[in-house]
Structure 1
Amino acid sequence: MATNRDPYTCPNICPKEGRHDTERNEQEITTVRQHENIHAAPYVPGMIKPPEPKIYPPGAPPKYLPQPTDSTSGDILGMGPIGPWAAGHIDWTPQAGTTGVRPVVDKYSITRYSTGEWRKNNEYILTPRATDKAKALETQTKKDIENAFTNLDKKLKDSNVKLDKRTKDLAHWKKQTEKALQDITDEINTLDEDRARLKGACRILMMPEAISRECLELRTGRYEPDLVRDDAEQELIKEVAIVGEIRRVFMNTLAKVEVQMVKNKAAKSSIEFDWSDKMISLKVDRKNVSLSPESNLILYHPGVTRWPENATTLEYWQHYCAEVVRNCEEVRQESEQLRGDLMTVITKGSQDMKLQADRTNCALAETVEATEAMCENLEENLKENLKKIADIENLIDYLKESLRKVDEKNKCVMTRLHARNYERTSVENCRDEAQYALIAEAKFIKETTESLHGKMRDAEAIRSELMKYRGALEKDIACKRKSLNIDKDRCARVRAHMPSPEEFAGG
């Protein structure tokens, strides 16, 4: 075997020409390689040195974090028969793994990153990137909450002061209305006694007058919208007027008494309504003053943070309170003046009274017939409305069940997307067709949910309208039945005692 063969050339490939050039540079190449790689020489027994402990400078970080002695371009390792690298020296860069610089696999392992890169990755993982933001958010949130509760306490205190002042104002005006109500009540009672003395001279005429007025009083008990001035009402008023005509001499005086009595009752009714409203408002505001955030009676009432449609200004309220008391006092003074003008009168003929009574009875009969027909139509409409409400409620239940099913599908697609977004790693987390399909499914589910919610709102609105219409129908039916009870039963029984012309003639 030839001993002068060049160890760096292949005899089967390299040409023999130029071999003397290789022999001429052999010593120079060997010297350079000895400086570059100390492991280039063949293995010699006894050359392995004992392990040398690594010395870290004082105050160095833990071993798993970057060290001052780490190389920025990777570990410089040489190639040898027992070295760790089959491919020799490799400089590691951020492009590690790119074709051309990827490490070679031997039969033991494959390495991709250097020790320095491993330590830098450990430092990156251990660095808390959101902790400072969380601390700042926590501090600012606590400060904002503290300021918010301070302002809430100030607003609550201011509201309590204003409510307390309001209750004092209401209590003052309530006393004024109570005094005026007592005065007008006493005046009504006194005027009624004087009127009874005047009517004592015509006992027979007391009966038709009492019947006519009682019918009018009964009809004032009708509910809206039946509280109308219909033909029966007109005839009853004419009947009262004819009774006054029969009395001849004291007609004007008695008419004034009756008008004054109506005014007194109207003033009393007005002052009673005002007193009742003030009692309710005072009760409400006293209850509100007693309430606090710790009370057991507080609840959520959505939609109340607004001005009511019938809300008035404070100036108008003060003017109204004073005006009601003043009007009541003026009516009371007029009644006092009228009570000194009462005088007796004589009787008028019974024929006019009988004719007017017949006309009144005919008008009442026509009113009763029309009211009965209207009541029947209202009851039919109520039945149809109740049926339609039941259908709409079934539709709402079906929409709720559909929303529940859509929600289950929404949870399914969200679970799939969450798993694919956060459990797939590295390059596997790609925008494949399945991802596009899941996103499209989620979008369609959202649109479907919004559409179903819109239909739910429409159904709820329609049901609300039907419920309002049902309430209106029931209220109107009750109103019509009340009117029938007054006109058909009570007024008829009262008018059955109307005196005949013979009774008038007989005195």
Structure 2
Amino acid sequence: MAQPDEPHPPVVPSCPLPSKTCDVVPTERPRSCCGMALAGLRTAKYHLPEWHRRNAGVCFEAYTTGEQAERGRGEAKHLMKHAAASAQRAQGYSKATLGQRLQDLQFWRVELQKEIMELDAETNLLVAQKLRLERALDATEVPYSVVIDNLECRERRQPPDLVIDEVEKQLMKEADLIRDIRDLLKRTIIQAATQIRSNRIQKENCELDWSDKVETYNIDDKCIGYCTDSTDVQFHPSSVKFEENASTPKSWAQFSHDNISRAEQEKLASVQLRSLINNIIHDASEDLRMQRAAVSEAFDSHCRELDDAKLRLESHLKQILKDIGDEEANIENLKKAIRDKEAFLKVAQTRLYDRSSRPNVELCRDEPQFRLVNEVEGLTVFLEALKRKLMESEQNLKNLEETRMKLEKEIAVKANSIFIDRQKCMGYRVRYPVDLEVASYQQ
């Protein structure tokens, strides 16, 4: 600090300095011989000592006042230098503080901008994953309609093929699996939508903070450019105060730190959700693929069983048709044999009838009579046996015909079951999506 100039030594007045300045007091005047005529002229005059004291007092007062003024000028000069240096230092310190503040603002502004860009990119990735979920959900509609159609088609099977077989169990399992996958995809879509909304809310908070930082940076950058030569500076006495809602440097930094921390948490939750979505779509696709393979294997196995059963029934039907032909021929032979035996019986009975007309003693039980009777009895026995056999053969033919009808019905039932399983069900399952994971990427 510059030292103030020393004051010049005082100039000593030529008149003697009394120790004390005293006021002029009236004293007794010597009586004049003139009496009352001179009284009025003598009342305002001083004695010589009084005059000297009066002059000395005026000189001392002038000296004291000059000395005090000179000392005041030195103090003023010193104060001006000190005030100028202090103001310069204060302005420089304020400018340096504003510069540091600008660096802090720039740091947080860059961090917030980085977080905003990363959160925006992560939100876009999550939106794409949500779109995959929606496409995967749409892709499950075809498999579900295929399964329901298969179950409804198989309800049109005819007894006794209308059974709860392995195919139906696998189809029911597939329908339950698709319903579970659809429910899971719907819940995950809602979760993704909630996370997207949280990401955007936090991004908006960071953007507001970033916007405030940009505005504040511009204000402080403008403030750091102010100087005593600036033309747009003026007095603002009311600005020298702290706002009630003003933050502290610690709370100010903590606010941006909390925004970035929450953004990081939302970003981490979004990344984890995207990974979960990938796993869900992959696992669902694998489960559907394996179940589809199980259903196809069950259909193939059941169709082979139906083919084998149908072939066996057709083989039996072929044999039954042959047996029916043989039985019909046998019945014809039996009828012919009966007719032939009836012709012999008629001859024998006619002979007996005619011989019963022999007169008197000629009505003899001779050997021809016995032979004719034996012949009639033998033919009767054979005819009865042939007729019983004919009845048995006709019953056998009836049974064969009923069996033929049953076999033909069974073959028709098997053919209907094969048509339903192979043509309707397996043919419709060609529309089944190849891969749910691939379908989630398709437009």
For Structure 1 versus Structure 2, the TM-score category normalised by the shorter chain is 0.3 to 0.5
User: Relative contact order: is structure 1 or structure 2 higher (C-alpha 8 Å, sep ≥ 6)?
Assistant: 2
TM score, norm. by length of structure 2: 0.44
Superposition TM-score, scaled by structure 1 size: 0.39
> Which structure carries more helix by proportion?
2
Answer with 1 or 2: which has the greater Rg.
2
